Amino acid sequence: MQLNLDPAAKVSTTLNINLNDKKAISPELMGIFFEDINYAADGGLYAELIQNRDFEFSADDNHGRNPKFAWKVENEGMNWDIKTDNPIHANNKNYSVLTTTKVGAKLINEGWDGINLKKGAKYDFSMFLLGKGKVKVSLVEDGKILASTTLTATTTWKQLKTVLTPNADAQKAVLSIEPLQTGELSIDFVSLFPQDTFKGRKNGLRKDLAQLLADIKPQFIRFPGGCASHGQGIDNIYHWQATIGELWERIPDFNIWNYHQSRGLGFYEYFQFCEDIGATPLPVLAAGVPCQNSWKGGCGQNGGLPFEKDLKGKPSPYKYMGKDLTMESYLQELIDLIEWANGDPKTNKFAAMRAKAGHPKPFGMKYLGIGNEDLLGDVFNERFTFLFEGIKKAHPEITVVGTVGPFWEGSDYEYGWKEAKRQHIPIVDEHYYNLVGWYLNHQDYYDKYDRNGTKVYLGEWASKGNNLDNALAEAIHITNVERNADVVVMSSYAPLLAKEGHTQWNPDLIYFNNTETKPTTNYWVQALTGQNAGDEYIYADRKVNVEKADYNAVNKRVASSVVQDKETGDIIIKLVNALPIVNTININLGDIDFGIKKGQYISDAHVSVISNSDLRAKNLKPDYNTIKVDKEFNYEMPVNSFTVIRIKKK
């Protein structure tokens, strides 16, 4: 992206704003997309501190995982078996049996790269215990006991609960379970949860990560995935019902990204988080076909769930919860989801499940995504159409979001758009991950779209890097998306979260480990945009004046967008100067009436700026200041900068 300019080059810009020429912006233009990739859920946003708490890890999770993964026996005198004959619930068949022959042996859990603890903080501990005798439960780092308690077993499965309060900070603590007598004890579903979660929710979210997401002020959240939704083969399609109810009743499963999903972060928690931060929920589920990247059961989408008419009375080769899985039963799953989210608990059994979990009021679900960047063809289209028509018939109030394939061009894209127009699909999901140059050279991309047809959800996009030049390219694209907000009604960067040491995809918006969060420069571009979203786009005439430099090369590196927040009356100006020199812009606010007397300046304006002379710089944060603005004023856009000027009504 670097542009080498003549030392004598000069650039200036004028921006004339016309308040009388504006159009509405979607109230859900800026959102976030959460996918369980890069350990984003378990070991990440989901605040549980025990890994493999239910001993349900399996070889399907890959990388040597099994029911004993993340656990080990310390000291001699203990035999440890995994059994299945007397589970706490049929959906969690495994449990551990500890046979102690010498007191002092312990079962140890290492957490997720160690257990991070804060001195004086309270942690809810629980586990199911069966047998006779006592166990000592301790939090330990480097041999030092930080917190400890004793629990007594009963002759039937019983969940025992206590609170542990460490007497010191720790970053690499472990959990120790030590039988205090010889004999046999059975344990299952061992949990350690900080009480200090986001909004104080039980079974909640890691506070610092959730707050970073909330600070973007997303207008919607898409979940639980892209590829994680339609899975590694038909058997791994995401079933939302598996993620609700008591934690030990949920059905864990492997992840297409090659690790385990506990489902502790389930649909109830996703919807609750949306409500907690004022975001519209956008669940996205499979269209009855597996992920195009799936290797299990055949490469890509060579098949899908069968229709009952094709089975001709024979059983389906696919089962879910002991029943035949067909397109008809899968459609009912989607209908059940809508009724779980929005139904009346007094008249609907699924809504009653929601109320029992603690949310009697409807969640207000408006959207349902069907499919995710699928390869498009007859197998997909037949199944999508069946689901689309079925949802429209059962719940016409729900807006279905379709897909036009994995790319911004090509046969899938063309076929997807043809079908979208033919079927009158209200919104389709576009995905693209492109280099900086693509964003510079495609600034008119959405200018050419039909203003009256199917709308666009830009569901996954990024510029393939976390340098400043990537963030500036994304800022330029955002200004173009805002200009086309009558076509693009939703957008979200992807992927969102990545745990250091467990990252399968780069770049990502936020990196983290057990103790730190590391928002990227890209994150701050998204956050400044989300925090300064508007209801209306205001047209403005921008002219770039260039001396001793190539006009076209300079012009494509200067961008702007003007929006208004109708609730506050604030005018918000976004400016990008992806140039190695200062660019002075003259801003004329035109006929904007701030109700001021002659001789007064209009307003104070809050200015947020990301800038650095080195386009390779990473992890930059905004600088904030205040300026006085008049109906016409100058502003010096710093080198390589993204600036947001928010003009407050006086």
CATH 3.20.20.80-classified regions of the chain: 32-45+197-297+367-382+399-531
Alpha carbons 220 and 457: distance in angstroms, whole number: 11
The pLDDT of residue 599 is above 60: no
Q: Domain 59-194: give its CATH code.
A: 2.60.120.260
Digit-coded pLDDT (tens) for 23-45: 999 999 999 999 999 999 999 99
Collapsing DSSP to helix, strand or coil, 329 comes out as: helix
Pairing of strands 632-637, 583-588: antiparallel
Q: Domain 10-25+535-647: give its CATH code.
A: 2.60.40.1180
Task: Compare 377 and 213 and report the one with higher pLDDT.
Answer: 213
pLDDT on residue 597 = 52
Q: ∠481-486-490 over CA atoms, to 5°?
A: 60
The pLDDT of residue 552 is above 70: yes
Torsion of CA 337, 343, 345, 351, to 10 degrees: 10
Phi, psi of 425 (to 5 degrees): -70, 130
Digit-coded pLDDT (tens) for 63-106: 789 999 999 999 999 999 999 999 999 999 999 999 999 999 99
Alpha carbons 504 and 45: distance in angstroms, whole number: 17
CATH 2.60.40.1180-classified regions of the chain: 10-25+535-647
Structure tokens at 621: 């944060």
Category of 347 on φ-ψ map: left (φ > 0), alpha (ψ -120 to 50) or beta: alpha
Digit-coded pLDDT (tens) for 428-452: 999 999 999 999 999 999 999 999 9
pLDDT on residue 604 = 72
Nearest to 543 by CA among 11, 10, 9, 15: 15
The pLDDT of residue 302 is above 80: no
The fraction of the chain above a pLDDT of 90, given in percent, is: 88
Residue range 32-45+197-297+367-382+399-531 forms a domain whose CATH class is alpha beta
CATH 2.60.120.260-classified regions of the chain: 59-194
CA distances for 37 relative to 44, 213, 239, 254, 508, angstroms: 10, 16, 17, 12, 10
Collapsing DSSP to helix, strand or coil, 355 comes out as: helix
Query: What is the model's pTM?
Result: 0.95
pLDDT on residue 591 = 73
Please state the three-class secondary structure of 399-428 as a single string: EEEEECCCCCCCHHHHHHHHHHHHHCCCEE
The pLDDT of residue 576 is above 50: yes
Q: ∠271-275-281 over CA atoms, to 5°?
A: 50
Q: Please, are residues 188 and 96 in contact by the beta-carbon 8 Å criterion?
A: yes
Nearest to 522 by CA among 541, 485, 495: 495
Mean pLDDT of the chain: 94
Digit-coded pLDDT (tens) for 169-192: 999 999 999 999 999 999 999 999
**Paired residues of 285 in beta bridges:** 370
pLDDT on residue 322 = 86
122-129 mean pLDDT: 98
**Band (590; pLDDT cuts 50, 70, 90):** confident
pLDDT on residue 335 = 98
- Catalytic positions are 373
